[in-house]
Amino acid sequence: MTAILFDSTVTRKSSQSFGRGIDRERPTPFEPSSQDRAWAAESFDSLDQARYQAEKNARLEDSAREAEWNDQFRLAPGLCEWCGEPSDWLDPVHKLCAECMTDAENSTIACMNKVAMGEYRVF
């Protein structure tokens, strides 16, 4: 069995130098050619454009889905729920125009008067 001790106090000098086997005669480090650089720039640019387009399409699809979701809860703006006429003011609860809201309130009051006095009328 072989044991490896890492905290040995004995210093041992290697007979061979560090970095042996590396070719020291190479004059300059590796430099990519201009064709390599052009290819890399084009490749990275196309990848970046593809990523940008994918993010843009995802944002557009998200907003389309959000608009589609919101549309199902939206009534046609400004149309009275009773008479169907366009109006610039609608009751926020019943979505009735002013005339239909007044008619509805008068009808309710007349019904209460009918119960109380026997007459279907509004004073």
Task: Give contact residues for Zn ion (rule: CB under 5 A).
Answer: 80, 82-83, 97, 100
> To the nearest whole angstrom, how small is the minimum distance from the Cβ of residue 121 to Zn ion?
22
Closer residue to Zn ion (CB): 82 or 110: 82
Residue 95: how many CB atoms within 10 A of its CB? 16
Cβ(113)–Cβ(120) below 8 Å: yes
In the numeric block, the tokens 């008067």 are attached to 113
> To the nearest whole angstrom, how small is the minimum distance from the Cβ of residue 123 to Zn ion?
24
Closer residue to Zn ion (CB): 82 or 113: 82
> To the nearest whole angstrom, how small is the minimum distance from the Cβ of residue 108 to Zn ion?
16
Question: 114, 113, 86, 112: which is closest to 99 by C-alpha?
Answer: 86
